[in-house]
Amino acid sequence: MPELTERDPEELSATLTQWLSATLGEGANPTIIDLEAPASSGFSNETIMVTARWNEHGSLEEHRLVFRVHPTKHTLFLEADFSLQYRVMHALQGQPSVPIPTLRWYEQGSETLGVPFFVMDHVEGQIPADNLPYTMEGWLLEASPENQAELWWSGIETLAAIHQLDWDALGLAGLANDSFGKPGLDRNMNYYRAFLDWTSHGRPQPIAEAAWEWLVANKPVENGEPVLSWGDSRIGNMIWDHFRPVAVLDWEMASVGPPEMDLGWWLYFDRQFSEGLGVPRPPGFPTHEETIARYEELMGRTMQDLFWYQIFAGFRFAVIMCRLSDLLVGSELLPADSDMGSNNLATQFIAQLLGLPSPAEQA
C-alpha cells in the first residue's frame, strides 16, 4: 500500500536530498531528479523509487535507488520485524548463487521519514505480474515455451541454492529463536495459528479453520535439518533478465524450516494462478512431478508430503488475505461489509483442493 500519495512530493524530495547529503558526506552534493511509488509495491512496506545524482570519484554519477520504508499506518504481519528483510539480505550479499540487490544504508531512526527505512540499488529487469497474473497476460505468457521453461528451472535452481546455504554460519541464528516454538515446522504452524487468531478478531473463518484442522490431523514428520526459508518463494518475487533471476526480493516472511515449505509455496502459487483462476499454466512450464524430481536431485534429499505443504501455503495465504482485507477496509478501498476476509482467492482454492463447500456457500 504505497503512501507516497500522502506525502508532499516536493517536501519528500527535499527531505531525502538532505538525508543523502548527510549520508554521502561533504562534496557529494546530491540532487533527486525523479521520485515515485510503484502501484505494485505491496502492503508490508512503503516503497519509494528514487533517481538521484551526486559527485562520486570526481564525476557526477546517476543512481537509481529503492527506499523500503516501515509502514506508517498499518502492519501486515503479526509481530512484524521490519529489520528482518534487511538482515537476511545483508547476510546473503555476495552469495553468487542467490542474487540480492546491493544494499546501501539502513536508517533506524525516525528523524527523516518518521519511521525506519533502508536503501538498496535498483535492479533492472522484469517481474511477472500478480494483478492480472502472469498466467493471463504479459511478457512471460508471450514468451516462447523454451524461455518459459528456462525461467522456471533457473528459479528452481535459485530456490535450492537458498536452501543449501548455512544460515547459522551466515549469522542468521536469530531466525531460529523466537516465542513461537522450536525452529522448523512447529514454529511456523504456531506463528500462523496465532496470526489467524489475531487478525480474525473472533470473526468466523470456516475455510481457514477447516484447513487448520486438516493440517493438524495430517501433520508430517520433518526429515533432515531445517534450512533458510525464503518464505514468499515465487517467481513474482524475483527480478528476471533474459529469463534468469537477477534479484531475489521480499524476505519479510523469512524463517527456518523444512525445504518443502518453500517448495510447497512455489507450487501452490503456480496452481493458484492457473487452476485456481481457471486458466492454463504457461505451456513451457515443466510439470510439478518434473519439478519435484529436479528439486530432489538438486537438494540430494527426498521431498515429502508436498500436498500437505501446499495446503499449508494456502492456509498462510488465507491468513494474510484476512489481514489484508482489514487494511483495505480501513483505507476505504473496500466497503465495510466486504466478505474478502473469509471469501478470497486463497479460501476459494483451499476449498477446491480439500473438497470443502465454497466460502460463499458458508457465508
Does some domain include residue 289? yes
d(CA 316, CA 345): 12
Range of the domain at 180: 139-362
d(CA 295, CA 288): 10
More confident residue, 175 or 151: 151
Does some domain include residue 109? yes
Does some domain include residue 131? no
Together in a domain, 100 and 204: no
User: At residue 66, does pLDDT exceed 70?
Assistant: yes
Between helices 185-200 and 206-217, what is the axis angle to 10°?
Answer: 160
Contacts of residue 330, defined as CB under 8 A and 6 or more positions apart, other chains included, come to 74
Does some domain include residue 245? yes
Domain boundary among 64, 90, 121: 121
Average confidence score pLDDT of the chain: 93
d(CA 150, CA 6): 41
Q: How many domains is the chain built from? A: 2
Between helices 288-299 and 259-272, what is the axis angle to 10°?
Answer: 160
d(CA 232, CA 221): 22
Together in a domain, 329 and 181: yes
User: At residue 310, does pLDDT exceed 70?
Assistant: yes
Give the pLDDT band of residue 2 (cuts 50, 70, 90): very low
Together in a domain, 250 and 344: yes
Does some domain include residue 31? yes
User: At residue 190, does pLDDT exceed 50?
Assistant: yes
Does some domain include residue 130? no
- Tell me the Cα Rg of the chain: 21
User: At residue 44, does pLDDT exceed 70?
Assistant: no
- The helix/strand/coil state of 54 is strand
pLDDT tens string 72-118: 777 899 988 899 999 999 999 999 999 999 999 999 999 999 999 99
What confidence score (pLDDT) does residue 38 get?
66
The one-letter amino acid code at 228 reads L
Together in a domain, 113 and 169: no
Together in a domain, 183 and 110: no
pLDDT tens string 312-358: 999 999 999 999 999 999 888 899 999 999 999 999 999 999 999 99
- Give me 129's grid cell: 505480474
d(CA 136, CA 143): 13
CATH number at residue 23: 3.30.200.20
Q: Point out the least confidently predicted range of 6-20, 93-107, 183-197.
A: 6-20
What confidence score (pLDDT) does residue 3 get?
45
Neighbouring CB atoms inside 10 A of 351's CB total 22
Together in a domain, 249 and 298: yes
Together in a domain, 225 and 76: no
Together in a domain, 152 and 221: yes
What confidence score (pLDDT) does residue 295 get?
98
pLDDT mean over 291-309: 97
Together in a domain, 192 and 266: yes
Together in a domain, 18 and 113: yes
Together in a domain, 52 and 201: no
Kind plus residue range of the DSSP H or E element containing 69: strand 59-69
Q: Which of 279, 231, 266, 284 is nearest to 80 (CA)?
A: 231
Q: Are strands 31-36 and 46-56 parallel, antiparallel or unpaired?
A: antiparallel
Contact, 70 vs 81, CB < 8 A?
A: no
Domain boundary among 121, 148, 183: 121
pLDDT tens string 158-183: 999 999 999 999 999 989 877 888 88
Together in a domain, 189 and 58: no
CATH number at residue 216: 3.90.1200.10
What confidence score (pLDDT) does residue 41 get?
46
Does some domain include residue 48? yes
Does some domain include residue 29? yes
Domain boundary among 121, 147, 181: 121
